[in-house]
């Protein structure tokens, strides 16, 4: 069994302990609240003041992605043909192991022992850094957020802002302890510390690695967006540039990519555009003063083809990785990304992680959802995330179609199934429903006292209060029945 498979096959029975730990971390809660409030406010203000038809733009974005997914096989072939004609070398990786091996072999062929990385969630997905370290190759993160968490050996907490759970005072301590820098807390001074540190790394590196925001089939080019300049350095100042691209990142044309770029920055950070837009269409040409001598693009599948073939869940592949569903999630902003125990946290993580890594191992993630629907409301490409999470809950309970990766290995919870069967029977019978409400009305207070001693109520009542039904009971029952049966 490979290291990647071993990681994916871990059981996550301790995720509740992780959640409780994060909930009790007051500094984390404070940091998350501050950052999430800022990101949501910036997005709302920008959409209100800069866009005349934001909803119309969302529909265009949705149509661009759905159109690309409907002809993905053709677009992938066209992208490979045009990119190859441009001098780019295309590699196909069906699994994380395949992708890691390709990257390592490229480094080995060039006698390279250090790779500088721009931000890439795909590289996190395949656990590239850990793989390379075992092979004797050092991977250095150059994105500021990624650098911070690499120094303290943590994974990203957010798919856009990897170190959003740390405030400037905590970052100052990290730089002091890990980089031997003077203790600072001003953002400008912290940025300068990181800049001085990374400039030394950039001085003579040979291989740079990046992710891909959009791959344009007609042009055989990739579009990368970022705000720090490290992405441009990582892809132009090296001899060899390697990009990891999920196959779902393909779009047909520059016009299509432009629509998605117009949605991405406002949704991610509430800015009209990113500072750097890097469009890479070839290696360095004769007479050009910069750019890599070689460009390699790894097209990563890792069960994306299975998701694409699913009549329900294929819509999750429309994601443009803006992270706005995380920013608006009332669960994520209380516990942060690490509590999800997955590369991809938040609502989008709850949808794609069980499908990429296995429903048996990652099905617990769908519990971390209140089903409030905010994620669906704010998604810039209108992915029905709340609906897909509900569908995955059905799959986890063995009441779905059984088509999700590793769902065949799930053992149904007999007690849970029996309990839901009885609840359904009561909830669909007016007579039994009235009796149940009357029972709760008269004996609810007794239940509150003895709930910690009753196995079925002990865990539930640990975090919730039993409801109190007051007033005219018959009237309230009729009102509830009217809502349920109308």
Give the per-residue pLDDT at 472: 58
Q: Radius of gyration over alpha carbons of the chain, in Å?
A: 25
Give the per-residue pLDDT at 399: 86
Give the per-residue pLDDT at 7: 41
What lies within 8 Å, CB to CB, of 52 at 6+ separation is none
Q: Which residue has the tokens 């005219």?
A: 472
Residues 129-137: contacts with CB under 8 Å, at least 24 apart: 130/3, 131/3, 131/4, 131/100, 131/104, 132/100, 132/103, 132/104, 132/107, 134/3, 135/104, 137/104, 137/107, 137/112, 137/113
Give the per-residue pLDDT at 461: 73
Please answer whether residues 410 and 416 qualify as being in contact, where contact means their C-beta atoms are separated by less than 8 angstroms. no
Please answer whether residues 365 and 354 qualify as being in contact, where contact means their C-beta atoms are separated by less than 8 angstroms. yes
Q: What's the whole-number mean pLDDT along residues 147-151?
A: 97
- Distance separating alpha carbons of residues 22 and 25, to the nearest angstrom: 5
**Residue 459, pLDDT above cutoff 90:** no
Domains of the chain as residue ranges with CATH: 1-49+310-411 (1.10.1060), 52-301 (3.40.50.10420), 416-477 (no CATH)
Nearest partner of 463 among 108, 53, 20, judged by Cα? 20
Mapped onto helix, strand or coil, the DSSP state of residue 178 is helix
Q: What's the whole-number mean pLDDT along residues 355-367?
A: 94
Give the per-residue pLDDT at 10: 46
Give the per-residue pLDDT at 439: 80
- Lowest-confidence segment of 8-17, 111-120, 469-478 by average pLDDT: 469-478
Give the per-residue pLDDT at 126: 97
Which residues in 135-182 belong to E strands, given as ranges? 138-141
Please answer whether residues 156 and 346 qualify as being in contact, where contact means their C-beta atoms are separated by less than 8 angstroms. no
**Residue 58, pLDDT above cutoff 80:** yes
Q: What's the whole-number mean pLDDT along residues 139-143?
A: 97
Percent of the chain clearing pLDDT 70 (strictly above): 92
Q: What is the mean pLDDT of the chain?
A: 91
Q: What's the whole-number mean pLDDT along residues 252-266?
A: 97
How do 214-216 and 221-226 pair as beta strands?
antiparallel
Give the per-residue pLDDT at 325: 98
- Distance separating alpha carbons of residues 428 and 481, to the nearest angstrom: 10
Give the per-residue pLDDT at 2: 41
CA atoms within 13 A on the CB side of 136: 6
**Residue 4, pLDDT above cutoff 50:** no
Q: What's the whole-number mean pLDDT along residues 282-304?
A: 95
- Distance separating alpha carbons of residues 215 and 224, to the nearest angstrom: 9
Give the per-residue pLDDT at 262: 97
Give the per-residue pLDDT at 475: 58
Distances from the Cα of 65 to the Cα of 69, 170, 350, 414, angstroms: 6, 39, 20, 40
Give the per-residue pLDDT at 79: 98
Give the per-residue pLDDT at 455: 72
Give the per-residue pLDDT at 450: 76
């Amino acid at each position: 069994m490979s290291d990647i498979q071993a990681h994916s096959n871990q059981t996550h029975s301790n995720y509740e302990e992780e959640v409780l730990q994060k909930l009790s971390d007051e500094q984390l809660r404070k940091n998350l609240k501050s950052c999430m409030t800022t990101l949501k406010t910036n997005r709302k203000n920008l959409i209100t003041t800069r866009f005349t038809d934001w909803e119309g733009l969302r529909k265009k974005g949705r149509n661009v992605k759905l159109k690309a997914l409907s002809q993905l096989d053709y677009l992938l072939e066209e992208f490979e043909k045009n990119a190859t004609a441009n001098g780019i070398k295309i590699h196909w990786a069906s699994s994380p192991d395949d992708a890691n091996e390709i990257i390592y072999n490229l480094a080995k062929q060039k006698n390279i022992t250090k790779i500088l990385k721009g931000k890439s969630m795909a590289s996190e997905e395949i656990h590239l850094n850990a793989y390379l370290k075992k092979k004797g190759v050092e991977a250095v993160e150059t994105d500021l957020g990624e650098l911070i968490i690499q120094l303290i050996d943590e994974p990203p907490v957010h798919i856009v802002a990897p170190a959003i759970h740390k405030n400037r005072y905590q970052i100052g301590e990290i730089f002091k302890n890990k980089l031997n820098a003077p203790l600072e807390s001003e953002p400008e001074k912290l940025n300068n510390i990181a800049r001085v540190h990374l400039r030394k790394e950039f001085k003579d590196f040979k291989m740079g690695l990046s992710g891909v925001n959009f791959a344009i089939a007609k042009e055989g080019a990739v579009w990368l967006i970022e705000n720090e300049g490290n992405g441009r350095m990582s892809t132009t100042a090296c001899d060899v540039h390697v990009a990891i691209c999920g196959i779902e990142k393909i779009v047909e044309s520059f016009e299509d990519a432009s629509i998605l770029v117009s949605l991405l920055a406002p949704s991610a950070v509430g800015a009209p555009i990113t500072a750097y837009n890097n469009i890479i269409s070839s290696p360095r040409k004769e007479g050009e003063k910069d750019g890599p001598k070689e460009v390699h693009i790894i097209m990563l599948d890792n069960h994306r083809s299975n998701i694409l073939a699913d009549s329900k869940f294929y819509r999750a592949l429309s994601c443009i990785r803006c992270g706005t569903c995380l920013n608006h999630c009332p669960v994520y902003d209380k516990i942060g990304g690490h509590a999800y125990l997955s590369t991809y946290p938040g609502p989008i993580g709850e949808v794609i992680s069980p499908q990429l890594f296995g429903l048996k191992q990652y099905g617990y993630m769908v519990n971390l959802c209140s089903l409030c629907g905010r994620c669906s409301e704010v998604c810039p490409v209108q992915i029905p995330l709340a609906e897909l999470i509900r569908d995955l809950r059905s799959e986890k309970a063995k009441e779905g179609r059984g088509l999700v990766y590793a769902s065949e290995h799930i053992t149904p919870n007999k007690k849970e199934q029996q309990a839901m069967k009885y609840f359904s029977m009561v909830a669909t019978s007016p007579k039994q429903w009235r009796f149940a409400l009357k029972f709760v009305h008269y004996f609810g207070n007794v239940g509150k006292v003895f709930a910690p001693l009753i196995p079925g109520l002990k865990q539930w009542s640990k975090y919730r209060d039993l409801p109190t039904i007051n007033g005219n009971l018959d009237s309230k029952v009729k009102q509830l029945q009217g809502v349920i049966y109308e």
